[in-house]
Amino acid sequence: MDVFDTIIPLGLGLSEVLLILAIPKTFIHFATLIIFICILGFFAYWNAIRKHDPKHKKSLNLKKLFLHHFGKSHGSTFYDEVVKFEKSAKNDLFVSTVVVGTMTLLTYFWLNPISEGMFYFSIFVILILFMRRDIWKHLENSEQLKEFWDELNKDTFEAS
């Protein structure tokens, strides 16, 4: 754990409270907080990914934890799949930040019901896309982990 592991969740919590308080305020207050939440989400994944860097002193401990928990045959694959998911989510958050920022600027400079509606529609689409992104689903649907899930299902069936 480091300072980013504390600052990022605190920033997200504060942003959520401010977002609720910004509802009766102007559009730009609400939109700015949405952008800030996207940026914090991007940095949350950046922080997790940087801890996988072999130069990072805790990186080996993290990989060892996966190896110990899932065994030598599957631990490395789980670790790689988690890193793959984190990188993909970080990239999605970057794109979301750009889209929301662009929609905010367009709406702010050409404030009309259509542009504001497009802003809220883009937020809606981004939220739906992120609700569908789930690390558990990613791991369950991974071709590399198919053998692990098959073994687990076989062991569970035999135990019952």
Copy the structure tokens of residue 105.
């600027």
Extended strands (E) in the chain:
none
Neighbouring residues of 93: CB distance < 8 A, sequence distance ≥ 6: 38, 41, 42, 45
| pLDDT tens across the length of the chain (160 residues) | 678 788 888 998 898 899 888 888 877 888 888 888 889 989 998 988 888 877 776 666 778 888 888 888 888 888 889 989 999 989 988 888 888 888 888 777 776 667 777 777 887 887 777 767 788 888 888 888 888 888 888 877 776 6
Encoded amino acid at 86, one letter: E
Cβ neighbours for 22, distance < 8 A, ≥ 6 positions apart: 29, 30, 33
Q: What are the residue ranges spanned by the domains of the chain? A: 3-159
Rounded Cα gap, residues 22 and 132, in angstroms:
27
Q: Strand, coil or helix: what is 72?
A: coil
